[in-house]
Amino acid sequence: MQPLPNQIYIISLQTYARNYVIYISTSVILASIRYSKLNVLEFAHCSFARVELFCLPKLEQLICGFWLSECLPLTLGGYVPCLKEVEIYSTISPHQERFKLRELLCGTTCINTLSLDFLGQKIWLQLEKYQLSSAFCNLRELCLYDIFSGFGLLWTTALLEAAPSLEKHEVEVYEHQCDDEEEIKQIYAERTNVTWEVSEFEHLALKELELVGFNATEEHIVFIGAVMERASNLQAVVLKEKYCKDCSSAVSTPSGERRFPKNEDEQEMVVNNLRNRFSSRAQIMFIRDYKLSSN
């Protein structure tokens, strides 16, 4: 087995070199990775200026989190025909920039699952839509996690439009009462959403929309309605309650109000609101977090 470049510090290596976890690097300018048997690769807390992946014919899963450079340094510069799953999770500091997802996924056409976790902070994606069409052509599941509750969600429909084969769209809202807001302001970039234009389009493949941390606010209703009207074959809208695992606090609105419908009457009001305003035959379901809810 050929070792990876000596600038990279390996903290986990499984049998037959099928899984690498790459952790902190101290003074790397450029690292290139070529390994024909690698099928899972994870980067975490890396300070690389640039990492290029070459000749990874069996790579199926790529995970990248908490980069320390100005923008995401990873690029797929070569042959990765089997890449099916990509997961990116991070916050960004004030000196870091938003990045273009297409620059990471350039040349890929087989990805079927994409997970992006913003950890309740600034949205670190740059505006893109049609530029993602090639990378998203076979995307079946899109998961957007921990979007701060003070942000709107309509911008996510731009990613939906770029993925004509998408069957499930999951969005999770973030609001933790136990967060130290003063500490967050010192460490992370200012919480800002993205302002992507919402266009009219028809999506034929989407079957399920799942919104975790649903609150019966106008913003959430408008977002759900926008997806319902564009996804003509939508079968299910799943609205889930969400509690913080650390403090058992429910996800709330920016004003602190908790508005997940707690009984059948309130749920019926939400359903009627959606049915009266938006055209869709999708079933609307509510799932409460009974493990943490005392109501």
DSSP string, 19-34: EEEE---SS-S-EEEE
Residue 56's pLDDT is 78
**Rounded CA separation 177/252 (Å):** 9
Closest residue by Cα to residue 18 from 51, 53, 60: 60
Burial 166-181 (b: 16+ CB within 10 A, else e): bbbbbbbbbbbeeeee
Mean pLDDT per 10-residue run, the chain (295 residues)?
A: 38 38 45 65 76 79 83 75 93 82 87 95 87 94 93 92 97 73 59 77 97 94 96 97 67 61 94 96 90 50
pLDDT in tens, 74-104: 777 667 889 999 999 988 877 778 888 988 8
Closest residue by Cα to residue 160 from 240, 227, 60: 227
Residue 50's pLDDT is 73
Residue 18's pLDDT is 44
Residue 6's pLDDT is 32
